[in-house]
Structure formats: structure tokens, C-alpha cells
Amino acid sequence: MRVARGRVVSGKVVVEGPPLEEGATVTVIAAEDAETFELGPAEEETLLAAVAEAHRGDLVDSGEVLATLRRGT
């Protein structure tokens, strides 16, 4: 998995850097005009690790999170 940046050109997303593999499934999150952010290398690594955890199903049930918050522990 990799995080890629790009721009829309003639209605298509053009990715910066090496091309993606033909047929790759991608998720596009388009920033609003005033909603942009930058990730440094460490932040990008953290994001990719979190995405990998989610793909493995290594998740915490929302009910469990809320119960923990209610208990204050």
C-alpha cells in the first residue's frame, strides 16, 4: 500500500511519482478548497500502519471504546 498525491487533469486523477499498477483499486479523498494537509515521512508511516491494521481486521469495537470512555479508564 502507498499514499500517492496527484491532481485532476481533464477530469482524471494524474498521480505524481511512479505510476500505479494497472487495475489497482484506489480511494480518492478530495480536499475542499480550504481543507488541505501535509504529512511528513513519520506521519505518513503512521497512517499507512493504521490502514494496514484496519485491513487486517485489527480493530476495536466502537461499543468497547465508548464503554472505556464512560468508565474513565
**CB–CB of 30/37 below 8 Å?**
no
Q: Where are the domains of the chain?
A: 6-71
Residue-level pLDDT at 10? 94
Centroid of chain to Cα 34: 19
**CB–CB of 3/48 below 8 Å?**
yes
Q: Which residues of 46-57 are buried (b: 16+ CB within 10 A; e: fewer)?
A: eeeeeeeeeeee
pLDDT along the chain (73 residues), means of 10: 85 88 85 76 90 88 89 82
